[in-house]
Amino acid sequence: DTNTLDYGQAALHYTSTSGGFDYGFIYYAGYNKLPSFNYEFDGDKTVNYWYEYDPMQTFGLEAAYVLAGLNLRGEFAYNMTQDFDGHKSDVHNHNIAWVGGFDRDIPVSNLNINIQEAGRLILNKNEIAMGDIEYNDEEEYTQNLLILKLSDKYLHEKLEAEVIVFYHFEDADYGVYPKLEYSPVDDFTLGMEARFFGGDDDSLFGQYDDNDLVEFTVAFDF
């Protein structure tokens, strides 16, 4: 049961500005949101298994700066688990993660473009063997995503349109997420969203290739 003080968490976030340069530091002490899979064999060859959330600490940096009309942003994090040497097969390895990119308003309508690269690298990968929770039969222990977002507003900002495109470098798979929202009057919104996926069946986005979807919404605020 995770609704107890045993699964408490705490975080510290400090930000400041110097000469137009925004920066910050982050510390988190809690649990990995990705559960570990554990199992054991009992006397009659029955397999008992369970999921467990492992303790984790995160040390992070963030920065932002405006250069030549580009709003530059970057974040970096080191996620420290209890598997310091990579030998605990039922605990996630340490890893580093990052995201960096920029956005800019384009002088066409209200168009804004946002481009980011997000990645993760699992550490101590040479210690990962079959049976390890991090094991990958293709020995790919990095993940890099290119993320492109285009957004615009029309009809006196009553119609908002955006599309987000994800491209996964390692497996050349992708996801495309278009979205429309129309608010003809206050407190009333019509919406449409879609999710389209492509790539190999065992890839990050390609595994959902048969689950493309389109949904429509009607929202009233009162």
Question: Is 77's pLDDT higher than 80?
Answer: yes
Task: Please tell me the predicted confidence (pLDDT) of residue 148.
Answer: 98
Task: Using CB atoms within 10 Å of the CB of residue 95, give its burial: 0 to 12 exposed, 13 to 18 middle, 19+ buried.
Answer: buried
The pLDDT > 90 percentage for the chain reads 67
User: What digits encode the pLDDT tens for the residues 158-178?
Assistant: 999 999 999 999 999 999 999
In this structure, the answer to whether residues 11 and 101 fall within a common structural domain is yes
Q: List the domain range (segments joined by +) for residue 174.
A: 169-222
Question: Is 52's pLDDT higher than 90?
Answer: no
Task: Please tell me the predicted confidence (pLDDT) of residue 43.
Answer: 64
User: What digits encode the pLDDT tens for the residues 14-27?
Assistant: 999 999 999 999 99
The 3-state secondary structure of the chain, one letter per residue: CCCCHHHCCEEEEEEEEECCEEEEEEEEEEECCCCEEEEEECCCCCEEEEEECCEEEEEEEEEEEEECCEEEEEEEEEEECCECCCCCCCCCECEEEEEEEEEEECCCCCCEEEEEEEEEEECCHHHCCCCCCCCCCCCCCEEEEEEEEEEEEECCCCEEEEEEEEEECCCCEEEEEEEEEEEEECCEEEEEEEEEEECCCCCCCHHHHHHCEEEEEEEECC
Average pLDDT over residues 146-156: 96
In this structure, the answer to whether residues 96 and 191 fall within a common structural domain is no
- Mean pLDDT over each residue of the chain, to the nearest integer: 90
> How would you label 42-80 residue by residue, b for 16+ Cβ within 10 Å and e otherwise?
eeeeeeeeeeeebebebebebebeeeeeeebbbbebebe
Q: Please report how many Cα atoms fall inside a 13 Å half-sphere around the Cα of residue 115, on the Cβ side.
A: 3
Residue 114 pairs with which residues in a beta bridge? 103, 149
Q: Is residue 203 part of a domain?
A: yes
User: What digits encode the pLDDT tens for the residues 101-133?
Assistant: 999 999 888 899 999 999 999 998 888 777 777
In this structure, the answer to whether residues 94 and 183 fall within a common structural domain is no
Task: Please tell me the predicted confidence (pLDDT) of residue 105.
Answer: 93
Task: Please tell me the predicted confidence (pLDDT) of residue 22.
Answer: 97
In this structure, the answer to whether residues 84 and 183 fall within a common structural domain is no
Angle at the Cα of 43 from the Cα atoms of 42 and 49, rounded to 5 degrees: 10
Q: Is residue 161 part of a domain?
A: no
Q: Is residue 162 part of a domain?
A: no
In this structure, the answer to whether residues 135 and 173 fall within a common structural domain is no
Question: Is 44's pLDDT higher than 70?
Answer: no
Predicted confidence band of residue 83 (pLDDT cuts 50, 70, 90): confident
In this structure, the answer to whether residues 110 and 135 fall within a common structural domain is yes
Q: Is residue 173 part of a domain?
A: yes
Question: Is 84's pLDDT higher than 90?
Answer: no
In this structure, the answer to whether residues 173 and 103 fall within a common structural domain is no
Question: Is 90's pLDDT higher than 80?
Answer: no
In this structure, the answer to whether residues 96 and 189 fall within a common structural domain is no
